[in-house]
Structure 1
Amino acid sequence: MTISVVLADDHVLMRQGVSQMIEADPDLTVVGECGDGVELIDQTLRLTPDVVVMDISMPKMSGLVAIDKLLSQRPDTRILVLSMHDEVEYVEAMQGAGAKGYLLKESSGDELIAAIKKVAQGKTVFPNADTGQSEISPAARRLSPLSALTRREREVFFLVAAGNTSKKIAELLDMSLKTAENHRSNIYKKLNVSSSAELIRMAGKAGLLE
């Protein structure tokens, strides 16, 4: 049985290259390609692929928000994140959001194909000894600024770090302005910052910015 894949990456050349690698395997087929988070949700709900392969950073909607929206509407969606970021905070955030796997863009085509097949089987693929990457240690998790935040607060955290206003965050996450402001306030308290500028500096030091 062929495994169907929807691929999301805003870099066209990267997306085309990944698509060619996937299509080269007889067990896999790309049924949809998109360049932003909004398209990703639309195509996934319409095409119901076995696996979604997606980047974290995309226009219109961040990967973290896209994962949340996808899983809220289609909980059985199996998501493999393909990213350039090897920082523990990114892996932790995507795993906590509900992704089934996390693979670096520097990985080989064989590693990508193997990861897609594992995720399609319901297995998880995250950095560990089996992949040759460093395992996420409990100490590293405690050091992550995201570890104290809830799933929803992590979404707001990334949107604030990207420079969005509370009004824009409310629109993107389909919540009231008051709820968005409450989340922002709670995040500031938990991270011991007093402004978006301080939060952005913290995110930069933690390697959470592009």
Structure 2
Amino acid sequence: MYDRPPFRVLICDDQEMMRVGLRMVVDSQPDLTVVGEAADGTEAVDAAVELRPDVVLLDVRMPRLHGVAAAERITAALPDTRILMITTFDLDEYAFAALRAGASGFLVKDAPAAEMLVAIRGVLRGDPMVSPSITRRLLDRYVTTGVSALPDTRLEGLTDREREVLGLVARGLTNTEIAARLHLGETTVKTHVGRILAKLGVRDRIGAVIFAYETGLNRPGT
């Protein structure tokens, strides 16, 4: 049925029962396979570098090395590896820091198995697994701390249309919604988004959203 080997998943959580549960869910799928586990942040980084998984399920709050710091190190060493943070609540106090560290989304620990699989496959496709409402709350929380917009020459490299598309991405709109808003084909929007990511040098839409708010292109409430 599948013409490629299963995607490789690394599970990192300090709770053994959580690791067991995640392993059961992942290994039940023909297109996914667990290649390793880690019980703390340091082990997570070492295992990721050794095993080179396609996606890392990483607990936000880990002993020895915090999940955010582990995410930063994994992203730096393995830029093509996706990171899905595991949280107790849908809005963890470290959530924004995790996104800035390179995470592509969040998985709530008590999420049903079907939602876990949607999240894992989503980040593997390069989609941000953070709902627009959570994204907005995270960005509102960050921007309203008094941090000024940061100048960035990468913004100058975007065309007017690309800035427009980026602004709508930052507001949480999907490609389909952006296409309808701008009266464009969805394929055209996908092309614009791809060019935006390449010009900004970010991994995914989450990185583009953060860029838009940090540079002042978008502001909370707009």
- For the superposition of Structure 1 and Structure 2, which TM-score range results when normalised by the shorter chain? 0.5 to 0.7
Q: Which position in structure 2 is the counterpart of 1:73?
A: 77
| Among candidates 79, 84, 89, match of residue 88 of structure 2 | 84
Deviation at 1:143, TM superposition (A): 4.2
Judged with a 3 Å threshold, the aligned counterparts in structure 2 of structure 1 residues 85 and 48 are, in CA distance, closer, same or farther, namely same
The whole-number CA distance in structure 2 between the counterparts of 1:90 and 1:127 is 16
- Count of matched residue pairs: 144
SS of residue in 2 equivalent to 1:15? helix
Q: Which position in structure 2 is the counterpart of 1:156?
A: none
The whole-number CA distance in structure 1 between the counterparts of 2:135 and 2:78 is 29
Unmatched 5+ residue regions in structure 1?
151-210
- Superposed CA offset, 1:163-208 (max 9, x none): xxxxxxxxxxxxxxxxxxxxxxxxxxxxxxxxxxxxxxxxxxxxxx
Q: CA RMSD in A?
A: 2.2
- Superposed CA offset, 1:23-81 (max 9, x none): 11111100001101111111111111110011011111000110111122222221001
Q: Which amino acid aligns with 2:117?
A: I
What is the 5 A alignment of 1:95-134? 95-128=99-132, 134=134
- Superposed CA offset, 1:104-161 (max 9, x none): 11211101111111111222111336xxxx452453333459x68x9xxxxxxxxxxx
The whole-number CA distance in structure 2 between the counterparts of 1:88 and 1:30 is 25
Unmatched 5+ residue regions in structure 2?
151-222
Instruction: Give the alignment's TM-score, normalised by structure 2.
Output: 0.59
What is the 5 A alignment of 1:51-62? 51-62=55-66
What is the 5 A alignment of 1:94-173? 94-128=98-132, 134-137=134-137, 138-143=139-144
1:35 maps onto 2:69 in alignment: no
Q: Which amino acid aligns with 1:40?
A: A
Deviation at 1:90, TM superposition (A): 2.6
Q: Is 2:9–2:53's contact at 8 Å kept on the other side of the alignment?
A: yes
The whole-number CA distance in structure 1 between the counterparts of 2:24 and 2:43 is 20
1:4 maps onto 2:4 in alignment: no
Identical positions, percent: 34
Deviation at 1:3, TM superposition (A): 1.0
Q: Which amino acid aligns with 1:127?
A: S
Judged with a 3 Å threshold, the aligned counterparts in structure 2 of structure 1 residues 118 and 87 are, in CA distance, closer, same or farther, namely closer
Deviation at 1:101, TM superposition (A): 1.1
